[in-house]
Amino acid sequence: MHIWRAARIAALFLVWSAGLAFAQDVTLTSRDGSVEIVGNLLGFDGEFYRVQTDFGDLTLDGTGVLCAGPGCPDLESYVARLQISGAATAGDVLMPALVEGFGLRYGYSVGREDIEQGVVRYTLTHAEQGRLAGEFVIRSGTTNEGFADLLADHADIVMALREVRTNENALAQEAGLGDLRRRGRSLVVALDALVPVVAPDNPVARISVPDLARVFAGEVVNWRDLGGPDAPIAVHLRDADSGPGQAAEDLLMQPAKLVASDTATRHRDNAGLIDAVMTDPFAIGLAVASEPGETKPLRLSGACGFTVGATRRAAKTEDYPLTMPVLLYRPGYRLPKLAREFLAYVAGPSAQLVIRRAGFVDQAMERIAIADQGERFANAIGQAGAETSLAELQRMVRVLGPMQRLSPTFRFRAGSTVLDVQSQSNVQLLASALESGEFDGKRVVLIGFSDGAGSAELNRGISLQRAEAVREAIRASVVNGSLERVSLEVASFGEALPMACDDSAWGRQANRRVEVWLREDAAAAEPEDQR
């Protein structure tokens, strides 16, 4: 808490002092001379002026005003500048690849300059005109540093491996940057995952999530307790202020109500963690799946026998419990046109191949045939409780059999009816597909599932309510089209298709979800428990 108070004071001081040092007087006059605005120029994006006035910060269309004063920009030689700061997991490889892909697609000549350790500058030059169009500076550090840079006006976009914290968002609002939790302020660019890794000759192949948390908390200290040799466990984690380090706390430790051990060896980067694990046969680390090195990843399991690995598909559907989104946060003011075009490219289909080649899980929607989900259905049969009858399982297979599962999955924040950040992104992804007509003439069915706590009948009702909540969120997000040509339905099967064991908080959270299923023939029979 004291750290954030200090950060808040420092950030606000920097913003204030920057205003004193660099404020530039301008007078903006409407072309008919009837309106005149005097203030300090805060920014110009090539189209709009952002001016600090006695009436607050104003944004004005440059085509409608004339600018006079020492702060007026040179309209003929304007260069868009964008500062991107945050998690090195995104900044080292992913964002440079996306900048280069953007330049290639839109006809810019892209140059790279390494300014200092962790800081690179990209220049985008019009290939035909030979004129500099933009400069993108990428600072690779931590998620914390990215938000601090945003508050200090040293960044326009934050690369994050977690959602913005409540105190960070409050500081952003106080600094005039807007509510970073509002729709449109964040973009899920890609997905990564945390994966437990060991040396290749370690005989252990799987570990339960509760045991994994206990290992990193220092409660399990010998491999013998995990089915391995009688040897002490050496624990390796990323720095606590790094994106992967904070994701480990959020996804693994907090649900188990545990805290990482002070004896764990911390690493500034993933490469250092991987090297430490590779040179110690009795080490275990929590690495990012996009950079596993030559280590052996462990599959996650539970007492009921379920296992899941950090595969691309498991991460994309969020069936893998330690999946983490790679987010871009942007403030509430208008970015330069070139920056907006870049963000549109990042969110579009052209960038998905670039994201995959960079080693991350892309956001392109995939269809998964029921024939490719045999393990899931085998688990459902093997773990069916007393209240999940054979008839109910047969009904589920009968309904889902003619359909395909789509990769987006919706989950809610723990103990909340609010969709998590990845699910909010999936709402936009599905809404865009519906607006584009991709599913015209088809049936899109949102199917709710639950954990096994409580009665089966109650769980079916709760999971149906979740599916209905997702449907309403999608309908509210379809603003440029109509849903008349597609059948958007809801159904529920409660606890009949678990993704994980219910013996841990993360397992129950994984089971509480809404999946998307697609049937090509919209005229086919309705789902049997549609309401």
Report whether pLDDT(384) > 90: no
- How many of the other CB atoms lie within 10 Å of CB of 479? 7
What mean pLDDT is predicted for residues 315-332? Answer: 91
Per-residue model confidence as pLDDT tens digits over 458-509? 888 989 999 999 999 999 998 877 788 889 999 998 888 888 877 777 778 8
Predicted pLDDT at 522: 59
User: Is the backbone of residue 249 left (phi > 0), alpha (psi -120 to 50) or beta?
Assistant: alpha
- How many of the other CB atoms lie within 10 Å of CB of 148? 24
128 bridge partner residues: none
Report whether pLDDT(104) > 60: yes
Predicted pLDDT at 12: 37
CA distances to 114, 186, 358 from 98, in Å: 17, 17, 9
As a whole-number percent, the residues of the chain with pLDDT over 70 amount to 92
Per-residue model confidence as pLDDT tens digits over 228-283? 999 999 999 999 988 899 999 999 999 889 999 999 999 998 999 999 999 999 99
What mean pLDDT is predicted for residues 163-182? Answer: 93
Nearest to 95 by CA among 186, 189, 192: 189
User: Is the backbone of residue 158 left (phi > 0), alpha (psi -120 to 50) or beta?
Assistant: beta
Predicted pLDDT at 19: 39
Neighbouring residues of 494: CB distance < 8 A, sequence distance ≥ 6? 448, 449, 450, 456, 457, 459, 460, 462, 463
197 bridge partner residues: 285, 297
Report whether pLDDT(415) > 80: no
Per-residue model confidence as pLDDT tens digits over 274-308? 999 999 999 999 999 988 899 999 999 877 777 88
Predicted pLDDT at 169: 95
Residue type, 65: V
- Which residue ranges form the domains of the chain, and what is each CATH number? 2-68 (2.30.30.100), 80-185+330-357 (3.40.190.10), 192-316 (3.40.190.10), 365-519 (3.30.1330.60)
DSSP letters spanning 395-461: HHHHHHTT-EEEEEEE-B-TTSSSBPHHHHHHHHHHHHHHHTTTTTTSEEEEEEE--SSS-HHHHHH
CA distances to 31, 56, 355 from 74, in Å: 18, 25, 36
Predicted pLDDT at 362: 93
Report whether pLDDT(94) > 90: yes
As a whole-number percent, the residues of the chain with pLDDT over 90 amount to 55
Report whether pLDDT(352) > 60: yes
Predicted pLDDT at 261: 95
Distance, CA of 372 to CA of 217 (rounded, Å): 37
Do 274 and 197 form a contact (C-beta atoms < 8 A)?
yes
Predicted pLDDT at 283: 97
The enclosing H or E element of 195 equals strand 186-198
Neighbouring residues of 160: CB distance < 8 A, sequence distance ≥ 6? 86, 87, 143, 146, 147, 243, 326, 327, 328, 329
- How many of the other CB atoms lie within 10 Å of CB of 319? 19
CA distances to 355, 431, 440, 521 from 436, in Å: 22, 9, 9, 18
Do 499 and 319 form a contact (C-beta atoms < 8 A)?
yes
Q: How many residues does the chain have?
A: 531
Distance, CA of 227 to CA of 208 (rounded, Å): 12
Distance, CA of 294 to CA of 69 (rounded, Å): 60
Report whether pLDDT(343) > 80: yes
User: Is the backbone of residue 56 left (phi > 0), alpha (psi -120 to 50) or beta?
Assistant: left
Q: What is the pTM of this model?
A: 0.80
Predicted pLDDT at 483: 81
DSSP letters spanning 319-382: -STTEEEEEEE--SSPPPHHHHHHHHHHHSGGGHHHHHHTTSB-----EEEGGGGHHHHHHHHH
Distance, CA of 467 to CA of 445 (rounded, Å): 9
CA distances to 186, 262, 512 from 217, in Å: 32, 8, 26
Average pLDDT of the chain is 87
Nearest to 360 by CA among 394, 402, 310: 310
Predicted pLDDT at 406: 95
Report whether pLDDT(17) > 50: no
Per-residue model confidence as pLDDT tens digits over 120-142? 999 999 877 788 999 999 999 99
Per-residue model confidence as pLDDT tens digits over 23-79? 468 999 998 888 999 999 887 877 888 888 888 888 888 888 999 998 888 777 788
Distance, CA of 52 to CA of 38 (rounded, Å): 9
DSSP letters spanning 216-231: HHTS--BGGGGTS-S-
Predicted pLDDT at 13: 36
CA distances to 96, 296, 455 from 289, in Å: 19, 11, 37
Structure tokens at 200: 């290749």
Q: Which has the higher per-residue pLDDT, 462 or 100?
A: 100
Residue 16: pLDDT band by 50, 70, 90 thresholds? very low
